[in-house]
Amino acid sequence: MVLLSMTASHHELDMSTLELLSTGAASVGRAAVETCEAITGAVVVATCNRFEVYLDVDSPVDGRGVQHASHEVARLVAAASGVSEDVAVGAFSTRTGPDVAAHLFEVAAGLDSMVVGEREIAGQVKRALEEAREGGATSSTLELLFQTASRTSKKISNETTLGGNGRSVVSLGLDLASAELPPWRQVRTVLIGTGSYAGASLAALRARGCEDVRVYSGSGRAEQFAADRGAVAVTDLVTALEDADLVVSCSGARGRVLAGGAPRVTEPGAGGDHMPAEGDEVPADRDALLGGGDALGHVLDAAAVVRARSRAAEAAGDEAPHRPMVVLDLALHRDVDPRVADLDGVLLYDLASLKAHSPALGSLVVGQARRIVDRATQDFEETRLGRAADTAVVELLDDADRRIAAEVAERVAGRRAAGTEVDEAEAEALTRSVRRRVHADLHDAIVAARASALAVAQAEASAVVADAEAALRGAGTSGSDVEVCAGR
């Protein structure tokens, strides 16, 4: 078995490329397990700034299974996103062996995030495992990997100050927006979306003192979401925008459109969306869906903002200056039409601009967190490879039990031959005494046997990883010479 990860993130790709690549991410893990015999488990971590696939690969010693697995995942990603297979292969950084665990543990701790130390990623990693488990796509090794990642993240949170200041993409966006806004108690906010990220955004707004929050969702869930959290639901987005100082959009509606393959049709003038009814005109060309946002429709388009601000200006007349508006687009698959940034009096921050403003974190705190990650990685590898070592230890213990039984039997027989009867209680006491002595003498042998067996297992695993990496390098970025994986 070999652990393999394929990662695409904000470190290597711009947000537009990452957005396109992650289209249909939810289906990749289960499809990989079903279509490639070498893949025994798959977990997909897809967030606003990363798309990662973790695989448990039943690889032959020559590494061909790993090569097949990586190209099969690239093929599935290409099919879901519309990019070519070569582009999909080239977009991913591939890791094998202990590097897989080290990377995931850093991700779960927020060390690899756009905002270093952000805490949302820990929950996203946990949910990724749950979703894989529900889809029947995980494996015992991936279960151990992801559970260890969660424990490591919690340990870093408890033992360091990383993430202690509530660092997150949401908090960064609100920090940047605050420079252009009135005091928070006076800020009028429109929140677009009703998912977990919307909940986190509302909590962050409330923590800063913002009470005037109106919730909009094209899904129809705004009323329940708002009622549960003491906010106000709205059904007319344009009207809600008329006096808004701040718009926070994190619905991800366009991402669901891309993943589901059924485009929503934008309602004229609303910027909202609905599923097309029979007879609605929708783009027939997949390239039209992938080429630009217009075919899909943004949740908030420039026309809606223009209409809202025009109404607000008419209502204000000459009595008051037109208040500026700050828009935070926190969705990976952009909720907001980028042309909104071109409108007078409107400031748009999307994930790309937030990344550019992300502050660094002190090296001392990061160093403490990385040392915890290093220790957790070593412990994970020892646990994962410990089966062979455990077998060696069990053999020693079995041999010790045979020696104990033989010595007790010999001593009892000797005493009886000398005419001394040995009852059951005396025999048990003698057994305990012999066992303590033998096990005390056995301690050093167990430590040595375990270390030796673990070293052999590590060497064998390293050889498989090296062969796998050589196979991946030999394949290059083209999958044309790789035979298709057999389905189950």
User: Based on C-alpha coordinates, what's the Rg of the chain?
Assistant: 30
Q: Are 216 and 234 in contact (CB under 8 A)?
A: yes
Structural tokens at position 37: 């015999």
CB-CB neighbours of 443 under 10 Å = 9
Task: DSSP for 348-413, please give it.
Answer: EE-HHHHHHTPPP--HHHHHHHHHHHHHHHHHHHHHHTHHHHHHHHHHHHHHHHHHHHHHHHHHHH
DSSP letters for 97-144: THHHHHHHHHHHHTTTSSSTT-SHHHHHHHHHHHHHHHTT---HHHHH
Q: Residue 336 carries which DSSP code?
A: B
Alpha helices in 242-385 (DSSP H): 253-260, 286-291, 302-316, 351-356, 363-384
Helix, strand, coil percent content, the chain, rounded in steps of 5: 55, 10, 30
| Cα–Cα distance for residue pair 411/430, rounded to 1 Å | 9
Could you give the CA distance from residue 384 to residue 396 in angstroms, rounded to a whole number? 21
Within 10 Å of residue 254's Cβ, how many Cβ atoms? 24
**Strands of 93-96's sheet in order across:** 39-47, 50-57, 2-9, 93-96
Q: Which two tokens stand for residue 196?
A: 């977990």
- Number of neighbours of residue 485 by Cβ within 10 angstroms: 19
Give me the catalytic one of 36, 48, 210, 250. Answer: 48
Characterize the bridge pairing of strands 273-274 and 265-266.
antiparallel
What's the burial of 423, exposed, middle or buried (CB within 10 Å: 0-12/13-18/19+)? exposed
Q: Is there a contact between 48 and 332 (Cβ–Cβ < 8 Å)?
A: yes
Q: What six digits make up the tokens of 311? A: 């109404």
Q: Which residue in this structure is represented by tokens 């919730």?
A: 215
Strands (E), 124-194: 188-192
CA 402-403-409 angle, to 5 degrees, is 90
Q: With CA atoms as reference, report the closest residue to 129 among 111, 116, 142, 112.
A: 142
Per the annotation, the verdict on 36 as an active-site residue is no
CA distance 479 to 105: 30
Active site residues: 48
